[in-house]
A and B are shown apart, each in its own frame.
Chain A
Amino acid sequence: MSSKPNKSINLYALTWRLPIIFWQFIFFVGPVLFMVAMSFFLVKNYRMTEAFEFVNWSKMLSRGYFWDSYWYTVTIAAISTICAMCIAFPAAFALAFRASESTRRWAIFLLIIPFFTSYLVRTFSWFVILSENGVVNGILGYIGLGPYTMLNTNFGTLVGYMTLTLPLVVILQTVTMANIDKTLIEAARNLGCKPLATIWQVIIPLSKTGLIIAAIFCFILSFGDFVAPFYLGGSQETTLPILILDTTKSGQQWPRAAVVAIMMMGTLFAIAFTGIALAYRKRKGQK
């Protein structure tokens, strides 16, 4: 709200804003505050009791399995981000620079369609494709390869992450690059820049902000995803979301699960803020 006392509050605008403010407080700020409070509660005889003890924090953060899980999740989410950004780039590049306006519009429409179906359903369809007697191994069998184990591995987890993130990353990258002023690419060519070199010299610097935001989205989605590591990764490795599930199931340890959740949120905040700061970083000499 306005800090100037002489500026009257616009009641009309406020009325329109109220629902979203209300919603955010009830369903986001409230639960987060409750979760933070809960991380200090105690569990006695499988029942949660209000308290203010640091025992959950010290227990969780001193356990090796927590940190194993933490670094595994950070690493696999980072790998997922790198994979998604690299796989998406050629597609987005082609859509942004080679495709016609109408092709691009159709492609973006088709990329939105996966979001129509539940992510869970899309994940399960991978069973048919990736299992030992699935489609991929069937085809590889014809040329005398395999069968390979793809389900219940890191590879399976990554396939799941790609299912979740790739359409979004392609869309974000395409929109970013399609908005580049094409004259700048021509100017680079005019000044002796080889066609492929324009990607490093001009296109990536110009679309830096959009590319970083696409990467942040990809990391956040992968980091917090439960479905891919649980079903396609087969819980072979415990990611933080799986750890939360395990913790709540074993002995009703909701407070310790809250500790894990707060650690995850802290990490995501740090990554998102660093990323956005990088994306909008002003160069020296800029005012």
Chain B
Amino acid sequence: MSAPLVVFDKVQKHFGKFVAVKELDFEIREGEFLAIMGPSGCGKTTTLRMLAGLEAPTHGEIRLNGQVMNDVAPHERDTPLVWQSLALFPFLTARENVEFGLKMRGVDKAERKERALRWLEKMGILEFADRDISTLSGGQKQRVALARSLVMEPQILLLDEPLSALDAHLVIRMQAVLTDLQRELGITFVYVTHSQSEAFAMADRVIIMGKGEIAQIGTPKDIYREPANQFVAEFVGRNNILSGTVESVSKDTARITTPSGEFTVPTNEVRLIKGNKASFVISADLVHIAKDEPKGGNKAQCKLISEEFVGSMVTLFLEDAQGHEFKVQMQERELSKFDLKGGDKIWLSWDTQSAHVLNES
């Protein structure tokens, strides 16, 4: 594998007594689409701002192409950022906004204009080149902001929740625009978001951050199916978390007793000791439902509380006799076969291999 483009080496960031970033150690590979995801206040934006030079790390080193960046001023870096608020200059036209960075770099007028227009055309907004920013729609502004950063032909593009202000249907469109752009240009994208759907839809790798630390790094699939710990499992949502005591351990599986019943789980690499506490997750889409009690296997009887539709997918929210919440995700047409009403009692079941034991940390 080629040398990493960016290295965070034991990076910490303190604001007075507040520790925004505890200790970051990770690498960004050349040409990858990396998403940094976490709840508000987890330090993800601070991480991005340190990479852009807008914040200086309190401890540790950030290296770009092997060069230590700690003391490099933001205007001397080649790390354009697309802001959550877009931060377009309201006193400039769309084209002048795109030209801004080139102007600062001393590119002459004719070339500036030509490159700006080329990017506006690429983003499909050439006709708005001489329009004022305030007259553009949200999606058009988004494209101007992207063009303004990409016209610099950077090695790496930083994006700080750029889609959070857009309507839902535009978000999906812009996601496609972003992934296409990233593939076509082959440059590295670092995308900060709190939205799981955005991160999982676009990224090659995802970093989950919590309380200033990395909770897990992995592909979207890894994180979804095999969350490293309870924090990730809860943050990723759409899955069922069960906690209890290890009853018995065999070669590949273990029995765990929870208030909701006794279940068999695969041990994976997690070392389980009889009598210890343990938690495991089952993705909501791997849970089956049935009206009649299934024979054997992992099962739980639940009461239907509510349904939530997103497109053709539906998520059922259920509760067992102990009040523990379960979630089941399935196709809407599949669900319609069951003819369920709120309050109905149904059985949930899942394959042993669908469960994933969490590291206690």
Please list the residues of chain A having a beta carbon within 8 angstroms of any beta carbon in chain B.
181, 183-184, 186-195, 197, 201-202, 205-206, 208, 283-287
Q: Given A197-B104, A283-B132, A285-B132, check contact A189 B91 (CB 8 Å).
A: no
Question: B87 to chain A: closest CB distance in Å?
Answer: 4
Which residues of chain A come closer than 8 Å to B132, judged between CB atoms? 283, 285-287
User: What are the 8 closest A-B residue pairs judged by CB atoms, nearest first?
Assistant: A191-B101, A192-B104, A187-B87, A286-B132, A205-B91, A189-B74, A183-B87, A285-B132
Contact B75 A189 (CB under 8 A): yes
Note all chain A residues with C-beta closer than 8 A to B200: none
Q: How far is the CB of B312 from chain A (nearest CB, A)?
A: 39
Interchain residue pairs with CB less than 8 A apart (17)? A181-B87, A183-B83, A184-B89, A187-B83, A188-B89, A189-B74, A190-B75, A190-B80, A191-B75, A191-B101, A191-B148, A193-B100, A197-B104, A201-B104, A283-B91, A283-B93, A283-B132
The listed residue (B76, B80, B101, B134) touching A286 by CB distance below 8 A is B134
**Given A195-B73, A283-B93, A286-B135; 12 other pairs, CB 8 A cutoff:** A183-B83, A183-B87, A188-B89, A189-B74, A190-B75, A190-B80, A191-B149, A193-B75, A194-B75, A194-B104, A202-B89, A284-B130
Contact check, A195 vs B91: say whether CB atoms are below 8 A apart. Answer: no
Choose from A186, A197, A285 the contact partner of B54 (Cβ within 8 Å). A186
User: 8 Å CB contacts to A: which residues of B81-131?
Assistant: 81, 83, 85, 87, 89-91, 93, 100-101, 104-105, 130-131
Which one of A192, A206, A208, A287 contacts B75 once the chains associate, using CB atoms below 8 Å? A192
A57 to B89, CA, bound (A): 50
Q: From the candidates B54, B85, B105, name the one contacting A190 in the complex (CB within 8 A).
A: B54
Q: Which B positions have Cβ atoms within 8 angstroms of A?
A: 52, 54, 73-76, 79-81, 83, 85, 87, 89-91, 93, 100-101, 104-105, 130-132, 134-135, 148-149, 152
Closest Cβ of chain B to A196, distance in Å, is 11
Closest-by-CB residue of B relative to A190 is B81
Smallest CB separation, B107 vs chain A (Å): 10
CB of A195 within 8 A of CB of B75, answer yes
A172 to B76, CA, bound (A): 33
- How far, in angstroms, from A283 to B95 measured CA to CA in the complex? 14
Which applies to chain A's interface (DSSP): helix, strand, loop or mixed?
helix
Q: Bound complex: CA of A201 vs CA of B101, how far in Å?
A: 11
B73 to chain A, nearest CB (A): 8
B85: A residues at CB distance < 8 A: 181, 183
> Which B residue sits closest to A184, measured CB to CB?
B87
Closest to A286 in B: B132
**A210–B90 CA distance with the chains assembled, in angstroms:** 15
Contact A206 to B104, CB < 8 A, known contacts A187-B81, A190-B79: no
Contact B54 A287 (CB under 8 A): no
Q: Contact between B83 and A285 (Cβ–Cβ < 8 Å)? A: no
Verify B104–A208 contact, CB threshold 8 A.
no
**CB-based contact B89/A189 at 8 Å:** no
CB-CB under 8 A for A191 and B104, given A183-B85, A186-B54, A285-B132: yes
Bound CA span A187–B148, Å = 10
CA A283 to CA B80, docked complex, whole Å: 27
Contacts of A186 in B (CB 8 A): 54, 74, 87
Chain B, Cβ-Cβ closest to A187: B87
Taken together as a complex, chains A and B put the C-alpha atoms of A210 and B93 apart, in Å, by 21
CB distance from A203 to the nearest CB of B (A): 11
A202 contact set on B, CB distance < 8 A: 89
Contacts of A285 in B (CB 8 A): 93, 130-132, 135
Task: For the complex, give the distance between the alpha carbons of A202 and B91 in Å.
Answer: 9
Q: How far is the CB of A239 from chain B (nearest CB, A)?
A: 37
